[in-house]
Structure 1
Amino acid sequence: MAPPDPNRHATDRVLLAIALRLLSVALFAFMNVGIKLAEARGASLAEIMFWRQFGATLLVGGLVAAGPGIASLKTERFGAHVLRTVLGLAAMALTFTTLTMLPLAEATTIGFSMPIFATVLGALVLHEPTGMRRWAAVLAGFIGVLIVAQPGGEAFPLAGALTGLAAAAGTATVSILLRTIGRTEAPLTTVFWFSCLSLLPLGCAYPFAVKAHAPLVWAILLGIGVIGGAAQIAMTRSLTLGPVSTVVPMDYTALLWATLLGWLVFDRLPAAATWVGAPVIVASGLYIVWREHVRRREETRQAIAQGIA
Structure 2
Amino acid sequence: MDGSVAAPRPILALVIRFFAAGSLATMAMLVKLAGSRGVALPELLFWRQAVTLVVLGSAIALTGRLATLRTERLGAHARRAFLGVTSMAFVYGAVLLLPLAEATVLGFTTPLFAVLIALIWFRERIGIYRWTAVGLGFLGVGIVMLPDLGGGVSVEGLAVGLIAGAFVALISFLIQDLNRSESPWSIVFWFVAFTTPALALFLPFVGAAHDPTTWGIVIAMGLAGAVAQLFLTWSLRFGSAATIIVIDYTSLVWAVFYGEPVFGRLPPATLWLGAPLIIGAGLVVAWREHRLSRRNRAG
Task: Report the TM-score range of the alignment, normalised by the length of the smaller protein.
Answer: over 0.9
Please state if 1:26 is matched with 2:28: no
Name the CA distance, whole Å, in 1 between partners of 2:188 and 2:64.
14
Name the CA distance, whole Å, in 2 between partners of 1:237 and 1:180.
13
Q: Percent of pairs identical after alignment?
A: 40
Name the CA distance, whole Å, in 1 between partners of 2:204 and 2:189.
23
Please state if 1:234 is matched with 2:234: no
Q: String of CA shifts for 1:142-166, please: whole Å, max 9, x gaps.
A: 1111111226777221111010001
CA shift, 1:294, in A, is 0.9
1:176 aligned residue:
173
Q: Is the Cα contact below 8 Å between 1:56 and 1:228 reproduced in 2? A: yes
Q: Is the Cα contact below 8 Å between 1:84 and 1:194 reproduced in 2? A: yes
1:71 aligned residue:
67
Name the CA distance, whole Å, in 1 between partners of 2:129 and 2:264.
39
Please state if 1:45 is matched with 2:55: no
2:4 aligned residue:
none
Q: String of CA shifts for 1:4-24, please: whole Å, max 9, x gaps.
A: xxxxxx9xx655433322211
Paired AA for residue 267 in structure 1: G
Cα distance change of structure 1 residues 26 and 173 upon mapping to structure 2, 3 Å threshold: same
- Greater shift, 58-67 or 96-105, is seen at 58-67
1:138 to 134, 137, 152: 134
- Aligned-residue CA RMSD in angstroms? 1.9
Name the CA distance, whole Å, in 2 between partners of 1:111 and 1:269.
18
Q: Is the Cα contact below 8 Å between 1:148 and 1:277 reproduced in 2? A: yes
CA shift, 1:128, in A, is 2.0
Q: Is the Cα contact below 8 Å between 1:53 and 1:195 reproduced in 2? A: yes
Name the CA distance, whole Å, in 2 between partners of 1:151 and 1:133.
30
Report the count of equivalent residues: 292
2:209 aligned residue:
212
Name the CA distance, whole Å, in 2 between partners of 1:51 and 1:245.
30
Name the CA distance, whole Å, in 2 between partners of 1:36 and 1:67.
34
**Secondary structure at 2:232 match in 1:** helix
Matches within 5 A, 1:80-91: 80-91=76-87
1:60 aligned residue:
56
2:96 aligned residue:
100
Paired AA for residue 205 in structure 2: F
Q: String of CA shifts for 1:79-110, please: whole Å, max 9, x gaps.
A: 11111111111111111111111111100001
Q: Is the Cα contact below 8 Å between 2:49 and 2:192 reproduced in 1? A: yes
2:283 to 269, 280, 286: 286
Q: Is the Cα contact below 8 Å between 1:151 and 1:158 reproduced in 2? A: no
Give the TM-score normalised by the residue count of structure 1.
0.89
Name the CA distance, whole Å, in 1 between partners of 2:243 and 2:114.
17
CA shift, 1:245, in A, is 5.7
In structure 2, runs of 5+ residues without a counterpart are 1-6
Name the CA distance, whole Å, in 1 between partners of 2:59 and 2:234.
13
Q: String of CA shifts for 1:197-243, please: whole Å, max 9, x gaps.
A: 11121011112211011011111111111110111111222233455
Name the CA distance, whole Å, in 2 between partners of 1:227 and 1:155.
29
Name the CA distance, whole Å, in 2 between partners of 1:256 and 1:134.
26
Name the CA distance, whole Å, in 2 between partners of 1:41 and 1:69.
38
CA shift, 1:37, in A, is 1.1
1:265 aligned residue:
262
Give the TM-score normalised by the residue count of structure 2.
0.92
Q: Is the Cα contact below 8 Å between 1:38 and 1:217 reproduced in 2? A: yes
Larger radius of gyration: 1
Name the CA distance, whole Å, in 1 between partners of 2:166 and 2:14.
25
Cα distance change of structure 1 residues 181 and 17 upon mapping to structure 2, 3 Å threshold: closer
Q: Is the Cα contact below 8 Å between 1:116 and 1:285 reproduced in 2? A: yes
In structure 1, runs of 5+ residues without a counterpart are 1-9, 303-309
